[in-house]
Amino acid sequence: MEGAAPSNERLGFGKMGYGCEHYRRRCKIRAPCCNEIFSCRHCHNEAASMLKNPCDHHELDRYDVKQVVCEVCDTEQPVLISGLISEEPSKF
């Protein structure tokens, strides 16, 4: 049925099976500072702190993230602020 709410089974697909050591979620983030995809800001910061050139070391401000990538379907989309942009934001 079109427009029907997603089933609990669909919402629970892969739950706790994705993510990183910091967060269990079904999305990754695109870091705007380096345009690369990471599981979370902590993973980004760890990778950035290991760069050979100390001048390249930087941290990601979580509020700067504007794009997320679904780990289930690999779709990239804008970050949605629940209740402000969409009535039914993605359930990553």
Task: Give the model confidence (pLDDT) of 7-39 as tens digits.
Answer: 556 556 556 667 798 888 888 999 999 999 999
Whether 78 maps to a domain, the answer reads: yes
Whether 14 maps to a domain, the answer reads: no
Whether 73 maps to a domain, the answer reads: yes
Task: Give the model confidence (pLDDT) of 64-83 as tens digits.
Answer: 999 999 988 899 999 987 55
Please tell me the total count of domains within the chain: 1
Whether 6 maps to a domain, the answer reads: no
Q: Tell me which DSSP letter residue 28 carries.
A: E
Question: Range of 41's domain?
Answer: 23-92
pLDDT of residue 46: 92
Whether 88 maps to a domain, the answer reads: yes
Confidence of residue 60 (pLDDT cuts 50, 70, 90): very high
Whether 5 maps to a domain, the answer reads: no
**Alpha-carbon distances of 28 from 2, 3, 5, 34, 52, rounded to whole Å:** 28, 26, 24, 14, 24
Whether 48 maps to a domain, the answer reads: yes
pTM: 0.66
